[in-house]
Amino acid sequence: MSSTDHVQYANQTAKSITPIPLSSKPSFGAPEDPENSWTRSGQGASKTACIRTFGCQMNVHDSDRMRRMILDAGYAEVNRYEDADIVVLNTCYVRENAVDRVRGHLGELSRLKREGRVKKFALTGCIGASGESRDLQRQFGIDLVLGTHNTYELAEFVGLPGMEETHTPELPGTEGEHSAFVTIMTGCNYKCSYCVVPSVRGRMSCRPMENIVDEVHGLVSTGTRYVTLLGQTVDAWRESGKRFCDLLERIAEEAPRVWFTTSHPSNMEDRTLRLIGEKKTLVKKLHLPVQSGSDRMLKIMHRGYKSERYRRKIEVFRKAVPDGTLSTDIIVGHPGETEHDHEETLRLVEDCRFDSAYIFKFSPRRGTEAAELPGTPPERVVQRRFVEVLRAVEQNAFENNQKKIGSTEEIYIRYGRNPEEGNAIGETWSGHAVHVQTNAPPGTYVTARIGSAGPHVLYADPAEANSGDRAPRERPR
Q: Choose, by CB under 6 A, the member of 151, 232, 281, 328 that binds ligand SF4.
A: 232
Q: Which residues lie across from 356 on neighbouring strands?
A: 327
Which helix or strand (DSSP H or E) is residue 57 part of? Answer: helix 57-72
Q: How far is the CB of 304 from ligand SF4 (least distance, A)?
A: 9
Interface with ligand SF4, residue 94, by CB under 6 A: no
Interface with ligand SF4, residue 130, by CB under 6 A: no
Q: Which stretch binds ligand SF4 (CB under 6 A): 14-22, 88-96, 175-183, 188-196?
A: 188-196
- Count of CB atoms situated within 10 Å of the CB of 255: 27
Largest CA distance in the chain: 63
CA distance 205 to 254: 23
CA distance 150 to 129: 10
Rg (CA), the chain: 22
Interface with ligand SF4, residue 260, by CB under 6 A: no
Q: How far is the CB of 1 from ligand SF4 (least distance, A)?
A: 5
Phi, psi of 333 (to 5 degrees): 85, 20
Of residues 3 and 148, the one with the C-beta less far from ligand SF4: 3
Of residues 199 and 402, the one with the C-beta less far from ligand SF4: 199
Q: How far is the CB of 58 from ligand SF4 (least distance, A)?
A: 10
Contacts (Cβ under 8 Å, ≥6 apart) of 269: 235, 243, 244, 245
How many residues bind ligand SF4, per CB under 6 A? 13
- Count of CB atoms situated within 10 Å of the CB of 404: 18
Q: Choose, by CB under 6 A, the member of 118, 192, 213, 332 that binds ligand SF4.
A: 192
Q: Dihedral angle at the C-alpha atoms of 210, 211, 217, 222, nearest 10 degrees?
A: 170
Q: How far is the CB of 195 from ligand SF4 (least distance, A)?
A: 3
Interface with ligand SF4, residue 188, by CB under 6 A: yes
Strand pairing report for 356-361 and 325-332: parallel
Of residues 369 and 469, the one with the C-beta less far from ligand SF4: 369
Q: Which stretch binds ligand SF4 (CB under 6 A): 185-193, 267-275, 349-357, 438-446?
A: 185-193
CA distance 158 to 160: 6
Interface with ligand SF4, residue 198, by CB under 6 A: yes
Interface with ligand SF4, residue 190, by CB under 6 A: yes
Quick check: helix, strand or coil at residue 182? Answer: strand
Q: Which stretch binds ligand SF4 (CB under 6 A): 122-130, 193-201, 350-358, 456-464?
A: 193-201
Q: Where are the alpha helices (DSSP H) in 243-294?
A: 244-254, 270-278
361 neighbors 382 (Cβ within 8 angstroms): yes
| Binding letters toward ligand SF4, positions 262-281, x by CB under 6 A | --x-----------------
Q: How far is the CB of 196 from ligand SF4 (least distance, A)?
A: 8
Interface with ligand SF4, residue 2, by CB under 6 A: yes
The footprint of ligand SF4 (CB under 6 A) covers 1-3, 188, 190-192, 195, 197-198, 232-233, 264
